[in-house]
Structure 1
């Protein structure tokens, strides 16, 4: 059966709501200040659900910080409101800093980031004290630990507190993985070891295997010239990525939990880069035309163009 030509393929869809339609409802409820409906929704999610997803959606809504402060003025022990406001403070801080390299960020921008992260820390410390099992608050505290440079041991302590209640929390694992990379004071050995631990501990078909693809992508991005060219073609790297994909993204029981588009995208990208076009094509077929900003934004700046380039090459030959 012939593959669709590049011109016949739809453009990548980066809208989170396309993969998870509840995003549209959550944003509408937030815009309407309908806290009762949002609380009922979040409280009604199955225990193993990654609540960081819903908190992240709410924290994207402009002005939500004013609303959360009003809720907390009336009910200071509202753990969800504390967490949403903390997440919003983190987001505002990072918007001030921007995604530019540290050398291009001004002292004033760093000061703004750290001020908002310190405010977030206080809110999130209170949230985790009130409910030590609330996953989204601990996951946000991993982000503040990174931004405030609190060190590897403190980041791992926070992750372990979360994992005691939620052992396969993809959002938290992704944040700790970033902290374990050399760019945040970690090491490649620590980062690769953690990603593999997450893969093997999770049930087959879970999204967690995507961390193995992510850490290999991070490692590849940190290299230059001939080293980068050779990295993904090493037999041990290839073997580990194939094993991880077969336990997760390419497993027949792959579950489309929160984060699945990102996990599938990392595998599509690394298999494309290593020249394993059949496996890359298999990942792109699962995605349809769904996409997340990363890994594609790391492959040349224009995430959509990078996605199209690699997808079309994989489907044409794989």
Structure 2
């Protein structure tokens, strides 16, 4: 364990230099520079950058201008659609539905419907655009279009990209009870994602996150603790890790901070401290907002990292 451990940062631009380049281009309203950042990115990299662009509040007028100039440009459409989705979700807030006002819901749904109109066109012209389909899965959840429609959208994406982890994690949210799903369906899908992907791929993170969601859904700390310390859960989390972040073929590709963060948290909750320490060591001081929003954000990250290093050693 080092003498001083840096405070965690959840800034996506700290983890991925290309995001910093994208932010500079968006701030300058420089469309050629934006396009250059996306050039030659694979689906995971493209989806990561699209999601990060949604954090740049105030870029909608610029993106609308670019989109209106060429509505056939898939990048312009996907970025504008995502910006509308993120703006709508900020209005809705992250609270459960009973705490959200009717006015908030109306504005939220208006933003999602506008995003849907843009993204329908993108996916019609470019049916292999993973980032656009991933956003449309989010829209299906927000507009409450139902389990079947969300799965239909995922299946359309999977025809072209069968192991797109960001889309799988997005659909998992829809399959959970909080979005009118059920645990059997959620875990069946998560296990399917973990087993179908090649060893060393990130997709088993979806199974780790299914257990995280189940843990969070219990009403009491006693129930939560009993769940994550039960032998079947501990074993399945380790198996998921061995198929992904603990596998020798795992590499830190776009999205790796989110994947390692999710396993760092789940290894910690299941008290598999050596495995947790290995993920914190790989992360350094990096983290992602999700899943740490479920565990007291930076305070939870710091707490579990300290325990992992103390009980599991630093890898």
Quote how far apart the aligned CAs of 1:216 are. Answer: 0.5
Of stretches 134-143 and 191-200 in structure 1, the one that deviates more from structure 2 is: 191-200
Partner residue of 1:185 out of 180, 193, 197: 180
Residue in 1 that maps onto 2:125: 130
Quote how far apart the aligned CAs of 1:221 are. Answer: 0.6
1:311 aligns with 2:301: no
Residue in 2 that maps onto 1:161: 156
Residue in 2 that maps onto 1:113: 108
Quote how far apart the aligned CAs of 1:72 are. Answer: 2.4
RMSD: 1.4
Residue in 2 that maps onto 1:248: 244
After the TM superposition, which residues 205-244 of structure 1 pair with which residues of structure 2 at under 5 Å, given as runs?
205-225=200-220, 226-244=222-240
Q: Secondary structure at the match of 1:173?
A: helix
Tell me the number of residue pairs that the alignment of Structure 1 and Structure 2 aligns. Answer: 311
Q: Secondary structure at the match of 2:247?
A: coil
* TM-score between the two structures when normalised by the length of structure 1: 0.94
- Measured in 2, the distance between the counterparts of 1:98 and 1:77 equals 32
Q: Secondary structure at the match of 1:256?
A: coil
Of stretches 195-204 and 49-58 in structure 1, the one that deviates more from structure 2 is: 49-58
Contact 1:50–1:169 under 8 Å retained in 2: no
Quote how far apart the aligned CAs of 1:4 are. Answer: 2.6
Contact 2:116–2:136 under 8 Å retained in 1: yes
Contact 2:215–2:227 under 8 Å retained in 1: yes
- Measured in 2, the distance between the counterparts of 1:57 and 1:294 equals 13
1:18 aligns with 2:14: yes
Quote how far apart the aligned CAs of 1:103 are. Answer: 1.6
1:9 aligns with 2:5: yes
Residue in 2 that maps onto 1:99: 94
Q: Can you list the C-alpha shifts for 1:138-187, whole angstroms capped at 9, x where unaligned?
A: 11000100000000000000000011111111211111010011111111
* TM-score between the two structures when normalised by the length of structure 2: 0.94
Q: Which segments of 5 or more consecutive residues in structure 1 lack a partner in the other structure?
A: none
Of stretches 250-259 and 129-138 in structure 1, the one that deviates more from structure 2 is: 250-259
Residue in 2 that maps onto 1:279: 275
Partner residue of 1:42 out of 33, 38, 42: 38
- Measured in 2, the distance between the counterparts of 1:149 and 1:209 equals 27
